[in-house]
Structure 1
Amino acid sequence: MRIPPLRNKCMAALLLALTISGCQKKEMTLKDSSSLNSKTTGTVTINSVQPVKSEALLAMQCYNNAFYHQYGTYGPSYKAYYYSDVTQTGRMDFWRQAEAIETLIDAYTINNDTDLKNKMVYLYNGMRDAYGLLWSSNIYNDDVIWGALMCIRAFQITNDGGMKDMAKNNFDMVWARAWDTSLGGGLWWTTANNTKNACVNAPAAICAMYLYQATGDAGYRDKAKLIVDWMVSKLYVSGSGEVKGAINAGGTITEGARTYTQGTFIGACNMLQSAYPSNNYKAMGAKAMDYTKNSMCNAQGLLPDEYDNDDCQGFKAIFARWACKFVHDQGYQGTYASWLNYNAAEAWNYRNSNGLMWGQWWHRTPDNYVNSFETTCGIAMMNGVWLF
Structure 2
Amino acid sequence: MKIPLSVNRSKALAALLFILTFTSCAKKEVKELEKMSADGASESAVTASSVQPVKSEALLAMQCYNNAFYHEYGTYGPSFKAYYYSDINHTGRMDFWKQAEAIETIIDAYTISNDPDLKNKMVYLYNGMRDGYGLLWSSNIYNDDVIWGALMCIRAFQFTNDGGMKDMAKNNFDMVWNRAWDTNLGGGLWWTTANNTKNACVNAPAAICAMYLYQATGDVSYRDKAKMIMDWMVSKLYNAGTGALAGAMNAAGNITEGTRTYTQGTFIGACNLLHNAYPSNNYKAMGAKAMDYTKNSMCNAQGLLPDEYDNEDCQGFKSIFARWACKFTHDQGYQGTYASWLNYNAAEAWNYRNSSGLMWGQWWRRTPDSYVNAFETTCGVAMMNGVWLF
TM-score when normalising by structure 2: 0.92
Q: CA deviation at 1:45?
A: 3.3
In structure 2, what is the equivalent of residue 374 of structure 1?
376
CA distance in 2, matches of 1:140, 1:343: 31
Query: Gapped runs of 5+ residues in structure 1?
Result: 23-40
In structure 1, what is the equivalent of residue 322 of structure 2?
320
Q: CA deviation at 1:48?
A: 3.5
The answer to whether the Cα contact below 8 Å between 1:47 and 1:346 also exists between their aligned partners in 2 is: no
| Correspondence for 1:140 among 138, 142, 155 | 142
The answer to whether the Cα contact below 8 Å between 1:269 and 1:285 also exists between their aligned partners in 2 is: yes
1:152 is the counterpart of 2:171: no
The answer to whether the Cα contact below 8 Å between 1:17 and 1:55 also exists between their aligned partners in 2 is: no
CA distance in 1, matches of 2:370, 2:237: 39
In structure 1, what is the equivalent of residue 222 of structure 2?
220
- The aligned runs of 1:1-388 (5 Å cut-off) are 5=24, 7=26, 10-11=29-30, 14-15=33-34, 17-18=36-37, 43-388=45-390
Deviations 1:2-23 (A, max 9, x none): xx8173674366356437867x
CA distance in 2, matches of 1:357, 1:13: 17
CA distance in 2, matches of 1:336, 1:6: 39
Q: CA deviation at 1:307?
A: 1.0
CA distance in 2, matches of 1:339, 1:46: 7
CA distance in 2, matches of 1:183, 1:306: 29
CA distance in 1, matches of 2:109, 2:29: 15
TM-score when normalising by structure 1: 0.92
Q: CA deviation at 1:300?
A: 1.0
Q: 1:9 to 1:182 in 2, by over 3 A?
A: farther
Q: CA deviation at 1:363?
A: 0.8
Ranges of 4+ aligned residues in structure 1 off by more than 4 Å: 19-22
Residue 191 of structure 1 aligns to a residue whose secondary structure is coil
The answer to whether the Cα contact below 8 Å between 1:359 and 1:374 also exists between their aligned partners in 2 is: yes
Deviations 1:285-315 (A, max 9, x none): 0000000000000111100000112110000
CA distance in 2, matches of 1:75, 1:231: 42
CA distance in 2, matches of 1:331, 1:211: 24
Deviations 1:349-375 (A, max 9, x none): 000000000111011111112211000
The answer to whether the Cα contact below 8 Å between 1:48 and 1:339 also exists between their aligned partners in 2 is: no
Deviations 1:143-200 (A, max 9, x none): 0000000000000010000000000000000000000000000000000000000000
Q: 1:42 to 1:245 in 2, by over 3 A?
A: farther
CA distance in 1, matches of 2:114, 2:172: 28
The answer to whether the Cα contact below 8 Å between 1:10 and 1:61 also exists between their aligned partners in 2 is: no
The answer to whether the Cα contact below 8 Å between 1:14 and 1:58 also exists between their aligned partners in 2 is: no
Q: CA deviation at 1:335?
A: 0.2
The answer to whether the Cα contact below 8 Å between 2:360 and 2:372 also exists between their aligned partners in 1 is: no
Query: Gapped runs of 5+ residues in structure 2?
Result: 1-22
CA distance in 2, matches of 1:202, 1:9: 43
Q: 1:251 to 1:237 in 2, by over 3 A?
A: same
The answer to whether the Cα contact below 8 Å between 1:351 and 1:365 also exists between their aligned partners in 2 is: yes
